[in-house]
């Protein structure tokens, strides 16, 4: 997030795209609720009539995968009606002319033809976003999990920069991240192309710095992203894997392909707190401590680094992940000896500029938001207040492109996937206790018109087929999904929806198009 979660409560206008915040980030939705109670306007962009959409002043129920056309339509209106922030555009940005040229054809009527959102609504929302003193953009994976995911994010940035709705309190471009430490895992360089704090492996200076700190040579070639690893394993190019606290058998697209890839490996180590679906494929399973059993830090979606603290001992002879990794490295002849997580943190911050000023002692009360370059620095609640990282903010003009897999006669419906309130990711944690008592199984949301045309009644068992696989699930006739779209979550091993999803990824971020694939639904006789 460019801004902090608390600031949402003071926004005048909230533009929430592809985020069912009420279910996926409930406590952030409380801030939206506070803003609404103070008179803020909420516009929700989502094909589904989510709980958040029910709070909205305006729900733009666009066709799946048409976000760029919608935003370009808004940009067109804002430029045509001279509502953009000329001072901000002149002083803080570049590429305006290209943007203007690209969006020229995206009249609201043209955008309506692509998105299905009435032109007049596009006009109203564009004006309101531009005119509000403090407009904030919130989004999640409804924006990013597309083959045009990066371009969708460019669209969000274009909108914010055009109106100068960034770099000030209660504005900004704010992705709400779905996992407790997904921000931190990225910050720490658990990515194939970057070291910590996004220092690129292709940058000789970065490689030199880490090479010296770690007494080794860092490869200059970016590694494989998760989907590429699976393909490489499938082809016998990856022979061994070490998987810590991840469950790609349920979380990754085209899961049958993932399973086959893991079967092909010569050697697989899985380290987790439960024997997950993925761990079953392992040659060695290592028992790890859960969050309550270890010390460390998580970085949240607003870049706030916070402590976790050991409260109880791990079960049996399970160990914290950091200790297990250290001992594997040591067994391989590379001694990693750390007295505690804070010793690891101190080594990490010595090579990580945005974390350099953060220490365990400074984290005690309220955490610190990076960038925090030195120990006197208070942290950075709001990014880009005076300039962008690259200096001027660059408008990236982008065009609408259809999703990779569109419905056809054989597969007439779009399958959309996401999250439920009572569960988390692949259910490894939430399917073990009371949350599972509350929601023990999932269902397929299907619009009543589609249900009628396929002869499906509420509660029927149905089989959903894509080009990659099929699964049986209970159907729930629902007005939450529009005609032509069905939805379920990826939390449940009994209904492993990722066996159906499309592994085709965005070329830049390599994120798969988990929000859209073509399926057919048949009643199980």
Partner 1 sequence: MCVDLIKLTIDGMEIEASPGTTVLNAAEALGIHIPRLCYDPSLSSVGACRICVVEIDGMRNLPASCVTTVTPGMVVRTDTPAVIEARKTILELLIANHPLDCMTCEKAGDCKLQEYCYQYGVTKGAFTGEEHHYGLEENNPFIVRDLNKCIVCGKCIRACAEITGKDILDFAYRGFNTKVTPFGNTSYIESDCVFCGNCVSVCPTGALTEKQMSGKGRRWELKKVRTTCPFCGTGCNFDLNVMDDKVVGVTSTNGPINGRALCVKGRFGWDYVHSPKRLTRPLIKKNGRFEEATWGEAFDLIATRFKEIKDKHGPGSFAALSSARCTNEENYLVQKFSRVVMGTNNVDHCART
Site for partner 1 in 365-404 (CB under 8 A): 365-367
Site string for partner 1, 158-177 (x = CB under 8 A): ------------------xx
Site string for partner 1, 108-137 (x = CB under 8 A): ------------------------------
Site string for partner 1, 59-98 (x = CB under 8 A): ----------------------------------------
CA 103 to chain centre: 27
Distance separating alpha carbons of residues 21 and 28, to the nearest angstrom: 7
Distance separating alpha carbons of residues 359 and 340, to the nearest angstrom: 13
Of residues 285-304, those binding partner 1 (CB under 8 A): 285-288, 290-294, 296-302, 304
235 binds partner 1 (CB under 8 A): no
Distance separating alpha carbons of residues 51 and 22, to the nearest angstrom: 6
Distance separating alpha carbons of residues 465 and 327, to the nearest angstrom: 45
Measured from the CB atom, is 83 or 182 closer to partner 1?
182
Distance separating alpha carbons of residues 371 and 197, to the nearest angstrom: 9
The pair of structure tokens assigned to 48 is 């589904």
The DSSP secondary-structure symbol of 268 reads: E
Measured from the CB atom, is 222 or 459 closer to partner 1?
222
Min CB(364)–partner 1 separation in Å: 9
Tell which one of 58, 188, 256, 412 touches partner 1 (CB under 8 A).
Answer: 188
Q: Which residues contact 143 (CB under 8 A, 6 or more apart)?
A: 17, 18, 19, 67, 149, 152, 153, 156, 175
Min CB(410)–partner 1 separation in Å: 27
Min CB(114)–partner 1 separation in Å: 25
Within a 10 A sphere around the Cβ of 178, how many other Cβ atoms?
Answer: 16
Of residues 401-430, those binding partner 1 (CB under 8 A): 421-422, 424-425, 428-430
Distance separating alpha carbons of residues 307 and 296, to the nearest angstrom: 6
Residue that is written with structure tokens 């910050």 in the block: 187
Distance separating alpha carbons of residues 306 and 328, to the nearest angstrom: 27
525 binds partner 1 (CB under 8 A): no
243 binds partner 1 (CB under 8 A): yes
The pair of structure tokens assigned to 307 is 């402590």
Measured from the CB atom, is 214 or 452 closer to partner 1?
214
User: Burial code of 278-314, b = ≥16 C-beta within 10 A, e = fewer?
Assistant: bbebbeebbbbbbeebbbbbbbbbbbbbbebeeeeeb
Min CB(331)–partner 1 separation in Å: 4
Residue that is written with structure tokens 């969708």 in the block: 152
Of residues 484-523, those binding partner 1 (CB under 8 A): 490, 509-512, 514
Within a 10 A sphere around the Cβ of 73, how many other Cβ atoms?
Answer: 29
Tell which one of 116, 232, 256, 264 touches partner 1 (CB under 8 A).
Answer: 232
334 binds partner 1 (CB under 8 A): yes
Tell which one of 332, 339, 361, 525 touches partner 1 (CB under 8 A).
Answer: 332
- By CB under 8 A, how many residues form the interface with partner 1? 151
């Amino acid at each position: 997030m460019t801004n902090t979660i608390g600031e949402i409560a003071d926004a005048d206008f909230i533009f929430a795209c592809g985020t069912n915040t009420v279910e996926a980030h409930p406590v952030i939705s409380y801030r939206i609720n506070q803003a609404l109670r103070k008179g803020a306007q909420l516009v929700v962009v989502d094909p589904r009539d989510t709980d958040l959409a029910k709070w909205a002043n305006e729900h733009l129920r666009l066709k799946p995968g048409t976000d760029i056309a919608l935003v370009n339509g808004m940009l067109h209106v804002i430029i045509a009606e001279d509502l953009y922030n000329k001072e901000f555009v002149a002083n803080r940005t570049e590429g305006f002319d290209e943007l203007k040229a690209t969006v020229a054809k995206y009249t609201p009527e043209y955008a309506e033809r692509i998105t299905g959102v009435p032109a007049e609504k596009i006009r109203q929302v564009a004006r309101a976003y531009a005119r509000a003193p403090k407009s904030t953009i919130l989004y999640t994976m409804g924006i990013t999990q597309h083959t045009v995911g990066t371009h969708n994010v460019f669209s969000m940035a274009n909108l914010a920069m055009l109106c100068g709705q960034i770099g000030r309190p209660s504005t900004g471009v704010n992705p709400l991240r779905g996992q407790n430490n997904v921000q931190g895992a990225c910050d720490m360089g658990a990515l194939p192309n970057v070291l910590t704090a996004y220092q690129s492996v292709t940058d000789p200076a970065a490689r030199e710095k880490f090479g010296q700190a770690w007494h080794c040579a860092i490869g200059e070639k970016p590694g494989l992203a998760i989907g590429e690893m699976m393909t490489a394993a499938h082809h016998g190019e990856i022979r061994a894997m070490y998987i810590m606290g991840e469950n790609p058998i349920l979380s990754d697209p085209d899961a049958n392909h993932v399973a086959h890839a893991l079967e092909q490996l010569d050697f697989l180590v899985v380290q987790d707190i439960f024997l997950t679906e993925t761990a079953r494929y392992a040659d060695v399973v290592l028992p790890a401590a859960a969050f309550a059993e270890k010390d460390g830090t998580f970085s949240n979606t607003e870049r706030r680094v916070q402590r976790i603290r050991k409260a109880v001992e791990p079960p049996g002879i399970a160990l914290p992940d950091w200790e297990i990794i250290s001992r594997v490295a040591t067994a391989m002849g590379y001694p990693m000896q750390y007295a505690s997580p804070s010793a690891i943190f101190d080594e990490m911050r010595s090579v990580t500029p945005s974390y350099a000023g953060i220490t365990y002692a400074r984290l005690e009360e309220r955490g610190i938001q990076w960038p925090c370059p030195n120990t006197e620095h208070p942290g950075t609640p709001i990014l880009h207040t005076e300039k962008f990282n690259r200096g001027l903010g660059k408008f990236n003009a982008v065009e609408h492109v259809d999703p990779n897999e569109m419905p056809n006669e054989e597969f007439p419906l779009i399958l959309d996937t996401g999250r439920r309130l009572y569960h988390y990711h692949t259910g490894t944690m939430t399917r073990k206790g009371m949350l599972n008592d509350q929601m023990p199984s999932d269902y397929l949301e299907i619009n009543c018109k589609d249900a009628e045309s396929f002869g499906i009644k509420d509660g029927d068992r149905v089989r959903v087929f894509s080009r990659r696989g099929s699964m049986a699930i209970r159907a729930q006739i629902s007005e939450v999904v529009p005609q032509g779209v069905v939805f379920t979550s990826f939390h449940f091993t009994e209904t492993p929806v990722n066996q159906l999803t499309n592994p085709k990824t965005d070329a830049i971020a390599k994120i798969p198009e988990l929000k859209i694939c073509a399926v057919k639904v048949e009643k199980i006789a």
